């Protein structure tokens, strides 16, 4: 059994301030000298960037639709092994998930899988005694979910005292504190959600102010006592080198900067465990690729926001075009796909030259194009997988690609509940590009396949001529 003090920060609904509370608690507890391991429920890439700034540790995704219970527990235990405490930020409302009739994919499901006490965040502005009725519903809705405390958000101290009296008179649940309505703590949003942390230079200062406020308005000692009540978990080991059939070392270049930073950390860890050395480069700032690369991995992000800068960095675009057309195995997801196209047309209609190894143009729209979980079935062998070897993933994008995938070029058949199967992505020789972010832990053969393709390229490069 594995003992890890832990708690989940959940909300009554989206927008109640879960991220603010979670980030503030992480920063406050780190200031007390604790090693805090952050997590985010679901497929979100942006909230974890705030966690990382607050905790000084990489935040991981815990997704109960993509992963099995054992896999979720393995990710959780693997990342928390060197931490004093784990804090999980929930997704949407506590009971909101993949379906309206079950807890599938919800924060509540994650709480039951990890046997973790829940701290409920309530946006109580404009409420009085009604707050007790609201909280009672969350306390009793699912007896398997233990709501162990409540934090009231966007209230004054005087308002908090009134609400606490109403809750204490009606319910037996700890009222752990409050946060005032302070616009300096608000996190701006754009079409994919919150603005990533590294785009806000004032974030560290705001987190410091938030941590100072929480020290006086939230009972941290009681929160730590609640985290300590989490029961031991059955051991769920991370995949071993035997599981992954570790191969000789290869070097994979990973695009990482303000334009490209959407990666499942578990994907990177699994590639490393398979024998890959990961070397980061910036399509925005670097003129050259790292030397002696055996493969390229271009993840998602916001290339549309930095399209002019990406176009201006012509040396990097030439480097990538030369490498990819020369045979370097290249895997691109969502933003990476957009960058590899001929052009990227922004929301204002301005066209920007991109790398140009994929046909056609990417056009930004003001409407969400595809969103949600999916299982993808490879239509042919690629640099990552054999034909008909499925994997799970998630997509969320506002852009369209004017090159409709043909049956000859499409990488995948996308299978999603309540949606007709459709062709998606692009696969040709050493190149695989798709809008879908796949999770390698849902099919370890994909991680092994990527490293194997890199190894084949390495052997070819070093073959005597």
CATH of the domain at 20: 3.40.50.300
Whether 125 and 37 map to the same domain: the answer is: yes
* 102-112 average pLDDT score: 95
Indicate whether 210 pLDDT > 50.
Answer: yes
Closest CA to 403 of 337, 335, 318: 337
Classified as helix, coil or strand, 281 is strand
CATH classification at residue 296: 3.40.50.880
Whether 116 and 189 map to the same domain: the answer is: yes
**Out of 94-103, 189-198, 345-354, least confident range:** 189-198
Residue 179: strand pairing partners: 153
**Out of 1-15, 197-211, 284-298, least confident range:** 197-211
Domain limits at 350? Answer: 241-461
Residue 234 lies in a domain: no
Q: Which of 167, 194, 228 is the last residue of a domain?
A: 228
Predicted confidence band of residue 19 (pLDDT cuts 50, 70, 90): very high
Q: Could you tell me where the DSSP H helices lie in 15-116? A: 18-31, 47-55, 69-80, 107-114
Whether 98 and 188 map to the same domain: the answer is: yes
Which strands form 431-434's sheet, in the order they lie side by side?
276-281, 250-255, 295-298, 330-333, 431-434, 426-428
Whether 266 and 186 map to the same domain: the answer is: no
Mean residue pLDDT of the chain comes to 92
Residue 47 lies in a domain: yes
Residue 256 lies in a domain: yes
Cβ-contact 11, 121 below 8 angstroms: yes
pLDDT by residue (tens digit) across 231-285? Answer: 999 999 988 756 666 566 899 999 999 999 999 999 999 999 999 999 999 999 9
Residue 235 lies in a domain: no
Whether 219 and 254 map to the same domain: the answer is: no
Whether 219 and 245 map to the same domain: the answer is: no
pLDDT of residue 191: 40
Catalytic residues: 334
Q: What pTM does this model have? A: 0.91
Whether 208 and 249 map to the same domain: the answer is: no
Indicate whether 203 pLDDT > 80.
Answer: no
Residue 233 lies in a domain: no
* 128-148 average pLDDT score: 97
Q: Which of 173, 194, 228 is the last residue of a domain?
A: 228
| Overall number of domains in the chain | 2
Tokens read off for 39: 């997590």
Cα–Cα distance for residue pair 165/160, rounded to 1 Å = 9
């Amino acid at each position: 059994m594995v003992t890890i003090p832990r708690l989940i920060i959940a909300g009554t609904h989206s927008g109640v301030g879960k991220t603010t509370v979670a980030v503030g608690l992480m920063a406050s507890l780190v200031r007390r000298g604790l090693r805090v391991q952050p997590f985010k429920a679901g497929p979100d890439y942006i909230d974890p960037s705030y966690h990382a700034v607050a905790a000084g540790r990489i935040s991981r995704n815990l997704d109960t639709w993509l992963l099995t219970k054992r896999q979720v527990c393995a990710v959780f235990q693997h990342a928390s092994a060197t931490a004093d405490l784990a804090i999980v930020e929930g997704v949407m409302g506590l009971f909101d998930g993949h379906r309206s009739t079950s807890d599938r994919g919800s924060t509540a499901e994650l709480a039951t899988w990890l046997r973790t006490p829940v701290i409920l965040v309530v946006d109580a502005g404009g409420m009085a005694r009604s707050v007790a009725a609201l909280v009672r519903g969350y306390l009793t809705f699912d007896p398997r979910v233990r709501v162990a405390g409540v934090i009231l958000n966007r209230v004054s101290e005087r308002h908090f005292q009134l609400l606490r009296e109403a809750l204490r008179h009606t319910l037996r649940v700890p009222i752990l504190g409050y946060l005032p309505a302070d616009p300096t703590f608000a996190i701006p949003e754009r079409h994919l959600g919150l603005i990533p942390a590294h785009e806000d230079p004032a974030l560290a200062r705001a987190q410091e102010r938030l941590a100072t406020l929480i020290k006086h308005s939230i009972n941290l000692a009681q929160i730590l006592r609640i985290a300590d009540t989490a029961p031991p978990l059955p051991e769920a080991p991370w995949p071993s080198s035997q599981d992954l059939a570790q191969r000789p070392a290869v070097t994979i270049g990973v695009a990482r900067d303000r334009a490209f930073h959407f990666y499942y950390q578990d994907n990177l860890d699994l590639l490393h465990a398979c024998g890959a050395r990961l070397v980061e480069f910036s399509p925005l700032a670097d003129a050259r690729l790292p030397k002696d690369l055996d493969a390229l991995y271009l993840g998602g992000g916001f290339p549309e926001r930095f399209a002019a800068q990406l176009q201006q960095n012509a040396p990097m675009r030439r480097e990538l075009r030369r490498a990819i057309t020369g045979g370097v195995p290249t895997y691109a997801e969502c933003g990476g796909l957009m960058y590899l196209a001929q052009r990227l047309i922004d929301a204002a209609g301005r066209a920007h030259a991109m790398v140009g190894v994929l046909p056609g143009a990417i056009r930004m729209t003001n409407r969400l194009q595809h969103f949600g979980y999916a299982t993808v079935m490879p239509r042919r062998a690629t640099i990552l997988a054999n034909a008909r070897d499925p994997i799970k993933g998630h997509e969320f994008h506002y852009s369209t690609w004017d090159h409709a995938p043909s049956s000859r070029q499409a990488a995948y058949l996308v299978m999603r509940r309540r949606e007709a199967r459709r062709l998606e992505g692009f696969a040709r020789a050493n190149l695989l590009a798709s809008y879908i972010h796949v999770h390698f832990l849902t099919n370890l053969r994909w991680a092994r396949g990527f490293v194997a393709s890199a190894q084949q390229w390495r052997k070819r490069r070093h073959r005597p001529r």
